[in-house]
Amino acid sequence: MSVVYPLLVALLVTGLAAYMRWRLPVYFIALLGALALTWVLGGHVATTLTLLVIGALAAVVLLVAPLRKSIISAPALRIFAKILPPLSETERVALEAGTVGFEGELFSGRPNWDMLFAQPKPELTADEQAFLDGPVEDVCRMTNDWEITHIRADLSPEIWDYIKRNKFFGMIVPKEYGGLGFTALANHKVIQKLASVSSVLSSTVGVPNSLGPAELLMHYGTKEQKDYYLPRLADGREVPCFGLTGPWAGSDATSIPDYGVVTRGEWNGEQVLGVKLTFDKRYITLAPVSTLIGLAFRMYDPDGLLGQTKDIGITLALVPRDTAGVEIGRRHFPLNSPFQNGPIHGREVFVPLSQLIGGPEFAGKGWQMLVECLSIGRSITLPSTASGGAKLAAVVTGSYARIRKQFGLSIGRFEGVEEALGRIAGHAYTISALAEASAAAVTRGELPAVPSTISKYHCTEMARQVGQDAMDIHGGKGIILGPRNYLGRAWQAAPIAITVEGANIMTRTLMIFGQGAILCHPWVLKEMKATQITDPRERLDTFDAALFGHIGMAISNAVRSFWMALTGSRFGAAPGDAYTRRYFRRLNRYSAALALVADSSMSLLGGKLKFKENLSGRLGDVLSHLYIASAVLKRFHDEGTPEADKPLLAWSFHNSCFEIEKAMSNALRNFPVRWAGYLLWILVFPLGRRAQYPSDRLSHKAASLLMTPNESRDRMGRGVHTTPHANNPAGRIISYLEAVVLAEPVERKFVKALKNSDIEALDFAAQLDEGVREGWITAEERDQLRALREMTIDTIAVDDFDTEELRSAGYARFAALNSQAAANDSNPMLSSPATDTDIGRNIA
């Protein structure tokens, strides 16, 4: 027999063992057994014997624990400890602040889908649903976004009063403290609906229910702090804000130079121990109207009043607005979305230690507290805002594209528009599934560090694309601002969501994969932790177990990735039904590829990986789209696999696969270690890149869903404010669709008859009357066409203004200052001189 057969047998058994992840003893028994059988059956003697000897030797080395540890694990431990990238304090805190849910499975290369399906279907309680149908619907009806964004530059006093009275600010505050005690899911649904009418309204409600005093007090507050502040925050007696960012520290928030010095001072007429704060913050949402400032600063104790430590670290305090030395009240103007946002300054502001959040024991733990709470807020406010905006844009743009006609056709029938509309449908479907998934994770009690960054980044980026496509489809109707414009302000505001709660470039290139690779990886964190164990025996044992788990997984992923790519992921166990099973198999393949490339990157680049932001960003994209596709599939199954939604599911899924392969191929083509990039390419793309962007046929189907009344479109519009009324032009346009579609055949009949006639009437009403007289249409059909005309006019109409109405209220002041400014060559419009509060201790 040929020399090839024994080699082939060894290769097959090894491949099978790796693919199926057999345990080492099982593998060696199978390998040696198969080789022995090959020998008996007449296999090439020398080759078979050589392989048997090599196999037996490997079995001894790997299965005899003391031998394995001394030959392999102990030297590996020494190397590992040496090359292990030093974790900064910030990274350590970030890694310890999150929990790992289903996303961890995506890093394993063989996701346990049962874990995804074991998650309960997200559902609201009766109270929460009643709140959405009652106060939330009411406040949406009260909201006129033009009045807010152009006339008042603020919510109306009635809306402020209504949201406070109805405890919108206390959604997350437990009932025993007078709040609504809602789940994160309910919080998500409320913000989603508010965002569909006004981003000013949704951010005003979102901030107190996100990272800020209430959330921090619930987790760390002392009993006195909770008893006093939570009821006041719940009913709006206190309006909170949270000040972290300043001119010198934006993305690098741990470098805040704001400081507090431990000292004695006067508080409520008594001499007490406290901190004297000096700070300079900007971009702080709700600051101009806030009564209670949550403040992050660095605490110092130069006189040792609290102990030996002089630099105590980042600390959080509650500073009442009226505390002496606090300067607050002016406003920033964020992209024509005038939610309350502005700077806060303070110089030598004294607060007692009892105002530190959590009291003196939590001094210095501020960063950890923030990071732990951030994953909660980041899972909800911005993804939900994106979801509300995208859902509304999808249903209203579908109606608009059907009602608006050019060249005698609904504009949505033109392929160019249809492509954009299909993209809107697919993205809106994806965003809503993703936003719900991250809110559901918080509802289950997770601290979803990685999913929250994925959700924040991708929901806001996709919503920006939805806004852009919707604007393009609306043409001039989207551009001309005024009470009839329901898109322009949301489109303007899109970059705000991209920038806040961690600007997106950094979220993508530093955080998603950076945290995910270590936090979600089944073995890396265990290996890292093993190196820290002080007892040498325990250290080696723990490291040995993690190392061999890791090596086994890496080999398995190489084989799985290669095999599944070669076979087009057609085989293998996967959940789902006949329709979705192939999707899960594709995700199995990409999961193996991600795990393989992530492992290779970490082992080849070590600590340098965190500076390779392009690689990290691309692998983050792969992880994100694996998570996104899983969330979308889960939602599809939770909703009972509705046939009508299949085009949306398919669009979303193929888009994710396309993005995964694009990101992975860019990662490998630019892989910092060239030879490894080529090798990995063979294992990941043996047949090249195959995933395609959603096809034109799919785009057509997805776009058509938005342009006709159907259950899928209804589901898309669920959860946003579509009630037609005077303040809601989008709701009116959405409500017209059914009548418009019914009138279309009559319209076609009438237009055809009109073209073939020789009547001279140019006036539409006269033409209709003529049509009835000529018998082209009935009197009822005339009424139907009149109604169609009215609905079309309401749909396409835009606003116009007198110059006086458009001028800013500051115009008179400007005109007065302008001549004076011309004389001394200054700019009269500089809102305030740039200040320097002389904070500089920590600035490099």
The residues that touch ligand FAD, with contacts defined as CB under 6 A, are 242-245, 250-251, 283-285, 334, 341, 496, 499-503, 505-506, 509-510, 613
Amino acid at 629: A
| 383 close to 668: Cβ distance less than 8 angstroms | no
* Cβ nearer to ligand FAD, comparing 73 with 337: 337
Tokens 């090596």, located at residue? 551
340: left (phi over 0), alpha (psi -120 to 50) or beta: beta
Q: Shortest gap between Cβ of 328 and ligand FAD (angstroms)? A: 13
Q: Could you count the other beta carbons within 10 Å of the beta carbon of residue 612?
A: 18
From residue 498, how far is each of 335, 381, 461 by CA, in Å? 12, 12, 7
Report how many helices (DSSP H) and strands (DSSP E) the chain contains, helices first. 36, 9
* Cβ nearer to ligand FAD, comparing 283 with 590: 283
3-state secondary structure 749-808: HHHHHHHCCCCCCCCHHHHHHHHHHHCCCCHHHHHHHHHHHHHHHHHHCCCCCCHHHHCC
| 114 close to 385: Cβ distance less than 8 angstroms | no
Quote the Cα angle for 227-229-230, to 5°: 75
Amino acid at 308: Q
Catalytic choice (372, 461, 501, 661):
501
* Cβ nearer to ligand FAD, comparing 464 with 634: 464
H helices of 475-580, where? 476-479, 488-499, 504-506, 513-519, 524-532, 536-566
Rounded distance between C-alpha atoms, residue 700 and residue 417, angstroms: 10
**H or E element in which residue 430 lies:** helix 415-443
| 374 close to 438: Cβ distance less than 8 angstroms | no
Q: Shortest gap between Cβ of 601 and ligand FAD (angstroms)? A: 17
Q: Shortest gap between Cβ of 385 and ligand FAD (angstroms)? A: 12
Enter the DSSP assignment of 308. S
> Which among 189, 315, 207 is positioned nearest to 261, based on CA atoms?
315
Give buried/exposed letters for 742-763 (b at 16+ CB in 10 A, else e).
ebeebbeebeebbeeeeeeeee
| 449 close to 519: Cβ distance less than 8 angstroms | yes
Q: Shortest gap between Cβ of 501 and ligand FAD (angstroms)? A: 6
Indicate the burial class of 741 (C-beta count within 10 angstroms; 0-12, 13-18, 19 or more).
Answer: middle
CB-nearest residue to ligand FAD: 250
Q: Could you count the other beta carbons within 10 Å of the beta carbon of residue 344?
A: 26
Rounded distance between C-alpha atoms, residue 114 and residue 574, angstroms: 10
Handedness of CA 698, 699, 700, 701 (dihedral sign): positive
User: Which residues are bridge partners to 262 per DSSP?
Assistant: 275
Amino acid at 661: E
* Cβ nearer to ligand FAD, comparing 512 with 593: 512
For residue 514, give every residue at least 6 positions away whose Cβ sits within 8 Å of its Cβ, in sequence order, or none. 91, 610, 616, 620
| 510 close to 616: Cβ distance less than 8 angstroms | yes
Q: Are strands 270-285 and 341-352 parallel, antiparallel or unpaired?
A: antiparallel
Of how many residues is the chain composed? 844
| 550 close to 518: Cβ distance less than 8 angstroms | no
| 387 close to 450: Cβ distance less than 8 angstroms | no
From residue 623, how far is each of 511, 521, 694 by CA, in Å? 12, 12, 20
Concerning whether 643 is annotated as a catalytic residue, the answer is no
Handedness of CA 208, 213, 216, 220 (dihedral sign): negative
Half-sphere exposure of 385 (CA within 13 A, CB side): 30
* Cβ nearer to ligand FAD, comparing 453 with 542: 453
Rounded distance between C-alpha atoms, residue 632 and residue 641, angstroms: 11
Rg for the chain, CA atoms, rounded = 31
| 489: its two tokens | 């302000």
* Cβ nearer to ligand FAD, comparing 354 with 499: 499
Which sequence positions are flagged as catalytic?
501
